[in-house]
Amino acid sequence: MSAVNQRARAAQGGAAGAAQAHYAGGVVDDVMVVGVGGQGVIMAAAIIADTAMLGGLDVKLSETRGMSQRGGSVSSHIRIGETVVAPSISPGEVDYLLAFESAEGLRLAPSLVPGGVAIVNLQQIVPPLASQGDFAYPFDAVERMRAEGAAAGSSPAGDEARAAGYRVIAVDGNAVGEQVGSVKVAGVVLVGALSAHLPFARETWEEAIAANVPPSFLEMNLAAFAAGREVGA
């Protein structure tokens, strides 16, 4: 009978310099990737999680599945640290929100931690319900996020942390993707934008991308990543 490990499963040491320092002392980064079924949210989450693992950290990921393929909202939670217990992020604790679609960004923005970062793709996908005229699609989602994010001090008195809003970085992932070859790599552009904020080496990200995209499209994806990393900083 094999001995079942007793939770001594944190990083086996070897986390590379910057990442190791960043996560020392129990820091956990909570990254949420949101979008619409079919946009590539799941692959982006896999790249982020693989990067963390290759960087020597513990990582857990959970995602919506099943019916999400039918054009519904999808989200992936990625938690990175020396030791991660729960795979899902708790409300109000998202450090980085990566939104593939702007209304989905607006929807999840309240889950950001004070001082958090929202990277929002400008793409807008109007659901059929809005087309029915029953609901209004928020075409001003990015502007509303900017206004909310900048609204410092809108929190209950005495809660110092709440004095900080959140930062909004708008990225035209589809346009950047098209510039480097195809709108299909827009998701990797967004991953590139996120990479500017996490403490992992560029090579680690590139290794994770290589593990998740077909070899024939690797070059285009790496170009998308590089372009995204530039606009996301």
Partner 1 sequence: MDKVLMLGNEAIARGAWEAGVQVAAAYPGTPSTEIVTSLAGYDGVYAEWSTNEKVAYEVAFGAAMGGARALTAMKSAGASVAADPLISSVYTGINGGLVVCLAGDPGMASGMTEQDDRYFGRISSMPMLEPADSQECYEYVKLAFDLSEDFDVPVMVRLSIQVAHQKSIVRLDETLSGEETGRPAPERKPPDRKTEKYCLLPRFSRPLHISLLERVERLREFSEQSAADGVLAFVEPAAGADAGSGSADGPAALPLRDGGSARIGVVTAGAAYISAREALPQASFLKLGMIQPLPIEAIRRFAATVDRLFVVEELEPYLEEQLLAAGIACEGKRWFPQWGELTPVRVGRGFYEAGLDLPRWAREKAAEDVSVIPRPPVLCTGCPHRGMATAMKKLDLDVHGDIGCYDLTTLPPVSHMHSAVEMGASIPMEQGFTRAGGSEKGSIAVIGDSTFLHSGLTGLLNAVHQRTNVTVLIQDNSITAMTGGQTNPGNERTLAGAETKPVDIAAICRALGVEHIVTVDPYDYQACLDALKAGLAFDGPAVIITNRPCMLFPRKVGGAAYVVDEELCNACQQCMKLGCPSLSHTDATWKNRHKVAIDLETCTGCLLCAQLCKPGAIAPAAPAPAPATATKAGDA
Residues that bind partner 1 (CB under 8 A): 1-7, 9, 12, 36-37, 46, 49-50, 53, 58-73, 84-88, 90-93, 103-104, 106-111, 126-138, 141
| CA distances to 169, 181, 229 from 178, in Å | 19, 5, 16
Which C-beta is closer to partner 1: that of 78 or that of 224?
Answer: 78
Cα–Cα dist 36/104, whole Å: 8
From the CB of 48, what's the least distance to partner 1, in Å?
A: 11
For residue 147, the one-letter residue type is A
From the CB of 60, what's the least distance to partner 1, in Å?
A: 5
From the CB of 230, what's the least distance to partner 1, in Å?
A: 26
Cα–Cα dist 90/199, whole Å: 22
Cβ neighbours of 136 (radius 10 Å): 7
Which C-beta is closer to partner 1: that of 88 or that of 233?
Answer: 88
Cβ neighbours of 4 (radius 10 Å): 6
Which C-beta is closer to partner 1: that of 195 or that of 212?
Answer: 212
Which C-beta is closer to partner 1: that of 50 or that of 229?
Answer: 50
Cα–Cα dist 223/180, whole Å: 6
Question: Which of 61, 98, 102 lies closest to 197 in space, CA to CA?
Answer: 98
Which C-beta is closer to partner 1: that of 117 or that of 231?
Answer: 117
